[in-house]
Amino acid sequence: MPSGETKSAYHHGALREKLMTACLALIEAEGIGAVSLRRVAREAGVSPGAPYHHFPDRATLLHAITAQGFELLVTELRAAHDGAAAPVEALGAMIEAYVHFAREHTGYARLMYRPELSRTAKDPAAEAFAQEGLRLAADTVLAAQRAGTAPPGDPAPLVTMVWSLGAGLAMLAIDGPMDDMSAARGSSTTELTAQVAALFRQMLQDAPKGV
């Protein structure tokens, strides 16, 4: 039988979030390989059977956290977009926001691009948030094209470039050499990311605008 604490948490709808928080902390401390429902229950301080009230298996738990991560990412991307003075500035700000998100939320970031979890079509919530992020990028590219600060034509290549720069830099920032690279030149990952974003904006503005 679950403990009184577990019953209370479950009764008040807090058990699900408690388990997800414990799972994220475990991923950040020991990696995804350490995650099992039994281990997550132990880290959350609940009975071994408690997770099954919300998550029938490990994959369901990880997919739920992945969806939560995409939701948080989209929130940060939208804030970066809304704080920019012009569409081309927003594109650079969104790249920087992507890297900031990954550095601040490494557990989410590592899950969101795990091969078996990155196929968001397997999870309707994760898919919806991922598509919202892509639509925001596409709308911003179209706005930059209308403003004459991005090359005209099919926006898909530019959307892909924005997403690839954001995701690629994010992964390098948490699992790659960006900190060492930045330190070697007397800089920081945040400063290097800002420089990459500024270069991207300049490249867009300098690109030929003819049809």
User: What is the b/e burial string over 58-77, where b = at least 16 CB atoms within 10 angstroms of the residue's CB?
Assistant: beebbbbbbbbbbbbbbebb
183 contact partners, CB below 8 Å, separation of at least 6: none
Q: How far apart are CA 149 and CA 152, in angstroms?
A: 9
Residue pointed to by tokens 């012009």: 86
pLDDT the model gives residue 119? 57
Q: Which of 173, 165, 203, 168 is nearest to 190 (CA)?
A: 173
List pLDDT tens digits, range 113-153: 776 665 555 678 888 998 999 999 999 999 999 999 999 99
- Write down the mean pLDDT value for the chain: 89
39 contact partners, CB below 8 Å, separation of at least 6: 26
DSSP-based helix, strand, coil % in the chain, nearest 5: 75, 0, 25
Classify burial at 42, counting beta carbons within 10 Å of its beta carbon; exposed 0-12, middle 13-18, buried 19 or more.
middle
Q: How far apart are CA 188 and CA 185, in angstroms?
A: 8
Q: Letter for the amino acid at 100? A: H
C-alpha 40, offset from chain centre? 22
Q: How far apart are CA 97 and CA 94, in angstroms?
A: 5
pLDDT the model gives residue 122? 62
Q: Letter for the amino acid at 120? A: T
**Domains recognised in the chain with CATH numbers:** 4-56 (1.10.10.60), 59-206 (1.10.357.10)
List pLDDT tens digits, range 26-79: 999 999 999 999 999 999 999 999 999 999 999 899 989 999 999 999 999 999
Q: How far apart are CA 6 and CA 51, in angstroms?
A: 10
- H or E segment to which residue 160 belongs: helix 156-175
| Better pLDDT: 10 or 204 | 204
